[in-house]
Amino acid sequence: MSKPNLTDIERKAIIDEFLKLSDNGVLPSGVYVKVSLKFGCEPTTVSRIWKRYAIAVAEGVVGGVWASQIKTKCGRKRKNRDEVREKVAKIFVEGRSVERRVAESAGISRHLVRRAVSEGIISRKTTFIKPALTSQNKLQRVEHALSFIDDTTLHFEPMTNLVHVDEKWFYADRTIPHRKQHWMEK
């Protein structure tokens, strides 16, 4: 059964052992086996650590390089977030209302969409369907409101004989909810 990976402290101790046994940077014969037996690992492992350290010192790195590279090289590689932003931007706004639909349309995973939202790469926006008023519409609204003012008293009529219906329901799209959530790039 193989030994687990060496810690950074063990790697530093191996380098210190090599430095003690070396003569002006040159290792005597059989030192790899001796050090590997002391630390309970393979001779190829300690030779790889020493060679990496020696190359770094030759390149001018003070103290050499002995830390493990496993921390930087292991695990799943991170997807480019700019590509995610571009894929989401290509989707029509109507197709961005549901996370699952965004992921399916963009060809990326739902987890990646959720992660992009949490990292702030794309953000959730809520839009309201509002009628775009022209200047003529605004003028008609003012004239309509003025028609309820009594000319003799200049008081607003109580409108007890009228039924008020909110106009936003006339402009709302019946197929899509009047409040839509979608994701936009920042």
Q: What backbone torsions phi and psi does residue 151 show, to the nearest 5 degrees? A: -70, -30
Greater model confidence, 88 or 162: 88
Q: Tens digits of per-residue pLDDT, 65-124?
A: 878 888 777 778 888 888 888 998 898 877 787 889 989 999 999 999 999 888 888 887
Distance in angstroms (rounded) separating the CA atoms of residues 49 and 66: 6
Alpha helices (H) along the chain: 8-21, 31-39, 43-58, 70-73, 81-89, 99-106, 110-119, 135-146, 168-171
CATH 1.10.10 at 81-128+176-185, yes or no: yes
Tell how far CA 185 is from the center of its chain. 12
**Model confidence over 16-50: pLDDT tens digits?**
999 999 888 788 999 999 999 999 899 999 999 99
The whole model's pTM is what? 0.44
Beta bridge partners of 174: none
Report the C-alpha gap between 6 and 41 in whole angstroms: 9
What is the arithmetic mean of pLDDT over 151-158? 84
Query: What's the pLDDT score for residue 178?
Result: 47
DSSP code at position 1: -
Asked if the model's pLDDT at residue 131 lies above 70, the reply is no
Mean pLDDT of the chain: 82
Query: 43-58 and 31-39 helices cross at what angle (nearest 10)?
Result: 110
- Give the pLDDT of residue 159: 79
Determine the pLDDT at residue 130: 63
Band of pLDDT at residue 155, cut at 50, 70 and 90: confident
Would you list the domain boundaries of the chain?
8-73, 81-128+176-185, 135-171
